[in-house]
Amino acid sequence: METEKSINSYKKGFIDGIPIGLGYFSVSFTFGMMAVNTGLTVPIALLISMTNLTSAGQFAGIGLIAAGATYIEMILTQLVINLRYALMSLSLSQKTDRTFNFLHRLFLSFGITDEIFAVASSQPCEVGIRYMYGLITIPYIGWAFGTFIGAAFCTILPDTLRSALSIAIYAMFIAIIIPPAKKSRPVLNVIIISVALSCLIRYTPLLNKISGGFAIIICAFVAAAIGAKIHPVEDVKK
């Protein structure tokens, strides 16, 4: 059912989610391969994707698992990386119609990702329960199925090729940061600060005793704080 004030069609949400799901399949395929290459089994890799639905958080988690990080490091890293979803959910709650009750908000908050938030927020009016469930369906299936296929595919590869895939995650991160760094000076500066801090911690006596997980957290917080200080976001003047 759709009105001028609300979009509440499962079919429309389903269709709007297809491009997102296709994109998620390719990314989660890589995650599945990386998870198995780290030492996780196919069922565990699939379970991670089915219960998390956060690409950056999952890739970071795989890196921490490989580094033997503690649970505290894992929790803090995931909190830092995924905190933005709380802000997205808060913003999106102002876009939902009256059909949303507390239980539906709990279920749908699990499926909020950057792309799903962007599509839902771009709708010209309020969105309903059925539309949001439709929008989440294909991205969720694409993310889980891509993980399974990538993980299963990795198990049949020769050991030498599987070892070579360990550098793929670094190539992926480089591919993620280079394009925005070329377009945005603030992004470039934050990346430079992060790299400098990482090298400082890695090669400075005493500091190099800090575990990899906490080093990631420190670099992220400090680089973000310095970036916000030297490149403040200007208020939009009405």
pLDDT digits (tens, 9 = 90+) for 71-111: 888 888 888 888 888 888 888 888 888 888 888 888 888 98
For the residues 119-137, what does the mean pLDDT come to? 90
Q: Is the pLDDT of residue 220 over 70?
A: yes
- What is the value of pTM for the model shown? 0.72
Residue in the structure block whose two tokens are 């070579």 = 164
Kindly state the DSSP code that residue 99 receives in the 8-state scheme.
T
The pLDDT tens digits of the residues spanning 159-174 come to 776 666 656 656 666 7
Q: How far apart are CA 96 and CA 21, in angstroms?
A: 22
Q: Which amino acid is at 137?
A: T
Lowest mean pLDDT among 37-41, 72-76, 231-235: 231-235
Cβ contact 78:57 at 8 Å: yes
Q: How far apart are CA 31 and CA 47, in angstroms?
A: 12
Cβ contact 116:92 at 8 Å: no
Q: Please count the other Cβ atoms lying within 10 Å of the Cβ belonging to residue 138.
A: 21
What is the C-alpha R_g of the chain?
20
